[in-house]
Amino acid sequence: MDKIFVMNLGTTSFKFKLYAFDDTQPLVLAAGELESIGAASSAYEITYPDGRSHKDHAPICDHGAAFAHCFCILQQDGILRDLDDLTAVGYKAVHGGNLSGTCLVDDALMAEMERVTPFAPAHNPIYLNAMRHIRSRFPKLTQVARFETSFHGSIPENRVTYGVPYAWKEEAGIRRYGFHGSSHQYISQTVAKLQPGARKIVNCHLGGSSSICAILDGKSVATSMGATLQSGLFNNNRVGDFEVFCLKPVMEHYGYSLDEALQILSKQSGLLGLSGVSNDLRQVMEAADAGNTQAQLAVDTLCDNILGYIGMYAAYLNGLDALVFTGGIGTNSHVLRQKVCENLGYLGLRLDAERNLRRDDGIISSDQSKVTVWRLKTDEESVVAACVYDFLHQ
């Protein structure tokens, strides 16, 4: 039986799921989360499908140490025998540049990830660090990366191309790549099972980081993020689409360096920057309800952004069979779903107010709606695990 350990890494966080594959369905053997890597003490929790859990603190210096720590606990708890019991580790890696799909982590892969680090400066270094640490501590362990750009390889060339000098595209890779591929792929596969015959799908992955994807016959044909994760929808604290020619006047007005201006656009903008309240939509909505007009503007702008992409993608798809809301915001905020959907009547879409309050996965549109609207929890790790399994068995 193959066992695959899938990692989803943040700057100071480490999430994993351990899967076992037999001939039928993959099984989750354990899931865990570790916070505050690099601090004096990191809190962690590992849970098992039978309800058992392991919650504690430990000093964890880097992502390699986080893996080693979780591995030890899984051994103590009888889930993994030894290193030979683990077939591979799989990464939900972000930007692979010219590499896409599922690839073995080797020197060439790491060099390519390094090369495109300027396109994903907040993500690629973390993954590269983890890959290097794990390779040095566990040299025999197979490491496999599934890139978040992978699902978007099917987007037509005219839609991944910016209006820049042609040489920029060819020589410097200035083109749209798209991200959140594992989530969009999971939703595409899930809708295919739940609503057979739905050919034209728009998936709204709305969370700490957000993107929207147009899917035709199971393939991505457009997505809102571009060459970097900064573009498209405005995110919790990232700007999203922004007029590049504003950079110079902003820098001159405030005396910012380019790095300072970019830092503000990527860390202190979006919901946080616009509302001045928080990067958490719950708090921004609360402030808006209490009469904070800036917070109200942030909520309205986010909803309008989402609506605009849905409209554009309905045009690209020449119609819509299914609209999906996923991610922390998409699954939890019935208010946001309501606000977005109330302007989609022209597509024959009708939200059912009562169904929209549901807290589980399912349909939230009315029986009369021409577009089926879904609230679905995403499962990115299961896509990475399945891709790694297929890669190892191809």
Nearest alpha carbon to residue 129 among 113, 149, 146 = 113
Nearest alpha carbon to residue 32 among 1, 86, 77, 82 = 77
Tokens standing for residue 118: 């300027």
> Rule CB under 6 A: is residue 332 a binding residue for ligand ADP?
yes
Least separation in angstroms between residue 391's CB and ligand ADP is: 24
Tokens standing for residue 54: 């392991």
Residues 279-298 that bind ligand ADP (CB under 6 A): 280-282
> Rule CB under 6 A: is residue 329 a binding residue for ligand ADP?
yes
Selected binder of ligand ADP within 207, 232, 240, 273 (CB under 6 A): 207
> What is the rounded distance in angstroms from the CA atom of residue 34 to the CA atom of residue 15?
6
* CB closer to ligand ADP out of 369 and 378: 378
How far, CA to CA in Å, does 111 sit from each of 16, 130, 133, 171, 223? Answer: 25, 14, 15, 17, 26
Per rule CB under 6 A, count of chain residues that contact ligand ADP = 12
Which stretch, 110-118, 130-138, 326-334, 339-347, contacts ligand ADP (CB under 6 A)? 326-334
> Rule CB under 6 A: is residue 361 a binding residue for ligand ADP?
no
Selected binder of ligand ADP within 176, 269, 328, 340 (CB under 6 A): 328
Least separation in angstroms between residue 284's CB and ligand ADP is: 8
Least separation in angstroms between residue 335's CB and ligand ADP is: 7
* CB closer to ligand ADP out of 28 and 251: 28
For residue 381, the Cα-to-chain-centroid distance in whole angstroms is 11
Beta strands 14-21 and 27-34 are antiparallel
Least separation in angstroms between residue 287's CB and ligand ADP is: 12
> Contact, 4 vs 14, CB < 8 A?
no
> What is the rounded distance in angstroms from the CA atom of residue 80 to the CA atom of residue 324?
37
Selected binder of ligand ADP within 327, 337, 349, 389 (CB under 6 A): 327
Residue ranges in contact with ligand ADP by CB under 6 A: 207-209, 236, 280-282, 327-329, 332-333
